[in-house]
Amino acid sequence: MPRRHSLLQLLRRHGPLSRKDLARLVGLTPASVTILTGRMLASGFLLELGEEVSQNRAGRRKVLLDIPYDKFVVLAASIESDGMTAALCRLNGTVVARQTLPLNFQEAPEEALIRLAKTLTELVQDPRVKNNRLLGLGVGIVGPIDRNRGVSLHAYGLWNQEVPVVAILERELELPVCLENNVRALALAEMDFGGLEGGRQLFLKYGPGIGAALIIDHQLSTGAHNRSGELGHTLVPANALVCRCGRTGCLETVASPQAMIDACLNLPSPPATLKDLRTAVDAGDEEVLNALVPVLDHLATALINAVQLFDPHWLVVYGGFLNHPEILKRLSDSMGRLTGDAQAAATLRHCTIPEDAPFLGGAAVAVRRLFLGDSATG
């Protein structure tokens, strides 16, 4: 299994490769690669691209192997406090069909999941995927999860109890289901579908809280106690505000989107909502932009420290107000001003996953776990 995983990962990163190149890159003998790829071709996990490419010296053409991207599909879903999304996707993250589902807070978690399963079942009926192999479902959910038990431990702003998400959805769909925290799942999606070069990524999801995920050597780094990436709950000196986590002084209390609104309270006409805030920034309202400087400085400080610690290829930001080019520019300026050089800010970039497609996190987890056979993820 690990060898199959290595071969498929290589093909995914490099594109089509010959058996000889695969053997060299993966460190196996050509004979072993021939046996292994033979098995994978027979089971449909590989595709021979014929004899298209460059001639070698002997005048023989190289046969290239690739992943049969259009032969498989996965189901994907996201469960967040502002609603659920469901989709049917190909192995490269292309969306075949999608659906948004509102959340009803009166509804028991199991009922919501049964409703989600029903929508997913409808998506699979799409005639365009009639001849495709459906591998299963990947779900990204807000809050901490227990991956071994497939349980959501606490979906903040949504459910206050443990919910056996995998057991319920596997029962309803009769398919393999894998679960991951939504921020971690999105970081994987950016790495796998967003064409992110380099295997080291610090991912920041901004709003409603401040979530982060760390990827090292293309793999999620979840931490010794599953708490890796809790950037929102790192401490800010001389901060007496109480956080929703119960502690005092967390970054989230001074740098979240809500903190941006709070920072404008003393202005003559303060923006009441994030939408108002966006309008003011769009209009180039200097008073508002100046009021945001301390907030952005807090965020910038935390990011500079994280970049200093983890030295990622990329610091990817996703969501909410950081999608605004002016705010991202000011965050970058803040990082430059606080460090005196452009090093940390140079790694900063926007996430390519659209904000209305959070299910792609689940798709990335499903592809890794159910197609690539990556046991370390999801």
Q: By CB under 5 A, is residue 298 in contact with Zn ion?
A: no
Site residues (CB under 5 A) for Zn ion, limited to 44-103: none
Quickly list DSSP for 20-37.
HHHHHHHT--HHHHHHHH
CB-CB contact of 218 with 191 (8 Å): yes
**Residue 236 CB, nearest distance to Zn ion (Å)?**
10
Of 233, 298, 330, 369, the one binding Zn ion by CB under 5 A: 233
The residue (of 94 and 248) whose beta carbon lies closer to Zn ion is 248
Report in angstroms how near the CB of residue 306 gets to Zn ion at its nearest: 16
**Residue nearer to Zn ion on the CB measure, 243 or 357:** 243
Which residues touch 42 (CB under 8 Å, ≥6 apart)? none
Least Å distance, CB 287 to Zn ion, is 29
Pairing of strands 133-141, 72-80: parallel
12-20, 50-58, 247-255, 284-292 -> range binding Zn ion (CB under 5 A): 247-255
Q: Which stretch binds Zn ion (CB under 5 A): 15-23, 148-156, 244-252, 366-374?
A: 244-252
Work out how close the CB of 250 gets to Zn ion at its nearest, in angstroms, rounded to a whole number. 3
**Interface with Zn ion (CB under 5 A), residue from 117, 142, 215, 243:** 243
Residue among 129, 116, 135 nearest 74 (CA):
135
DSSP code, position 3? H
Cβ distance 175 to 136 under 8 Å? yes
Q: What is the total residue count of the chain?
A: 378
Is there binding between residue 250 and Zn ion (CB under 5 A)?
A: yes
Q: Which stretch binds Zn ion (CB under 5 A): 91-99, 124-132, 162-170, 228-236?
A: 228-236
Q: Total number of residues binding Zn ion (CB under 5 A)?
A: 5
Question: Which residues on adjacent β-strands are paired with residue 75?
Answer: 88, 137
Place of tokens 């098995």: 39
Smallest gap, in angstroms, from Cβ of residue 32 to Zn ion?
50
Q: Closest Cα partner for 73 from 57, 53, 87, 61?
A: 87
Examine residue 236 and tell whether it contacts Zn ion (CB under 5 A): no
For residues 183 and 220, give the distance between their C-alpha atoms in angstroms, rounded to a whole number.
11
Amino acid at position 140, single letter = G
Task: Output 119 or 181, the one with its CB closest to Zn ion.
Answer: 181
Residues that bind Zn ion (CB under 5 A): 233, 243, 245, 247, 250
